Amino acid sequence: MAAEAPFGRRLCEVTASRADGGYRVFSLIDREGPQPEPGQFYMLASAGSWAGESGRPYLPRAISHARYDREPAGGYRLDFLIDEVGPGTMKLAAMMPGQTCWVAGPFGGQFSYPRELNPQAAGAILVGGGIGIAPMAVLRRELVERGIPSRTLLGFRDRAHSGGVGEFFGCEETRLAFEDGSSGHKGYVTDLLLQLLEGDDSATAAVYSCGPPAMLEAVRRICLDRAIPVELALESPMACGYGACFGCAVPKAGGGYLRLCIDGPVVRGDEIATALAGESDDG
């Protein structure tokens, strides 16, 4: 079980920030928080510069860590991978070393180990898309450290949007798909997954995925159709990250909703009604 997050939020110093393949990677030093687990996330807000001319961002933003490393002086260095899609991620991406960032967390639950997910599991299949490669990178490192075999499939729109791969995955044992065929497999990462599952014994598979909703839903369907246990790290608009606002609702399979921040962000594929949360029909 993930350790408890420090109560409240804290100011952490940003120590690095650089562009990487269409995304931004930045690091900060968290002296107070526990070691984060794969799948967990933080609520972040750049200090002093949060809130733009538009009056947004106002709420902190949920961001998964892409790597952590123990700091010699205590605490952890946390690396984040940012896709600048709006005012919040733009402010986070604009932070420069020396600036400070409000940090709360780590929040949320973690991925199960393959044997927890599927007692027959031979190893893990990790399927990441776009910015969703961040939690996959953390999970993979954890599996490597524990000597659990894993294969990684990553998908991107194009080469220009494939930041973090070299940095967080290295080159080995990672298969890439690019929608525009600019490199690797031309097409969706789910094509790679299907190939892989064809050759495989489905009964020994355990799939983990994080990426855009449409990709996650495709992965989910593929696995459910084949009765393969799958865990997905989902996204949803979040105001608080610690269960206070009930805003991060994701429809459950049997009806009703789970609070993604505390009941997720990692969910089992059969636990939810859809990975296309906002597009769900009713409640």
Ligand X SMILES: Cc1cc2nc3c(=O)[nH]c(=O)nc-3n(C[C@H](O)[C@H](O)[C@H](O)COP(=O)(O)OP(=O)(O)OC[C@H]3O[C@@H](n4cnc5c(N)ncnc54)[C@H](O)[C@@H]3O)c2cc1C
Ligand Y SMILES: Cc1cc2nc3c(=O)[nH]c(=O)nc-3n(C[C@H](O)[C@H](O)[C@H](O)COP(=O)(O)O)c2cc1C
Q: Does 129 bind ligand X (CB under 6 A)?
A: no
Q: Does 63 bind ligand X (CB under 6 A)?
A: yes
- 156: CB partners within 8 A, 6+ apart: 129, 130, 162, 176, 177, 178, 179
User: What is the SS3 assignment for 42?
Assistant: strand
Answer for which of 196, 245, 262, 276 binds ligand Y (CB under 6 A) is 245
Binding mask 214-253 for ligand FES (x = CB under 6 A): ------------------------xxxx-xxxxxx-----
Binding mask 7-46 for its own copies (x = CB under 8 A): ----------------------------------------
Burial of residue 163 (CB within 10 Å: 0-12, 13-18, 19+) is: buried
Q: Does 58 bind ligand FES (CB under 6 A)?
A: no
User: What's the rounded Cα separation, in Å, for the pair 111 and 114?
Assistant: 9
Task: Identify what 63 binds: another protein, ligand Y, ligand X, none; CB under 5 to 8 Å per kind.
Answer: ligand X
DSSP output for 93-155:
HH--TT-EEEEEEEES--PPPHHHH-TT--SEEEEEEGGGHHHHHHHHHHHHHTT--EEEEEE
Q: Does 131 bind ligand X (CB under 6 A)?
A: yes
Q: Does 94 bind ligand FES (CB under 6 A)?
A: no
Nearer to ligand Y, 196 or 245 (CB): 245
Task: Identify what 55 binds: ligand FES, its own copies, ligand X, none; CB under 5 to 8 Å per kind.
Answer: its own copies
Task: Identify what 247 binds: ligand X, ligand FES, its own copies, none; CB under 5 to 8 Å per kind.
Answer: ligand FES
User: What's the rounded Cα separation, in Å, for the pair 153 and 125?
Assistant: 8
The helix (H) or strand (E) run that includes residue 208 is strand 207-210
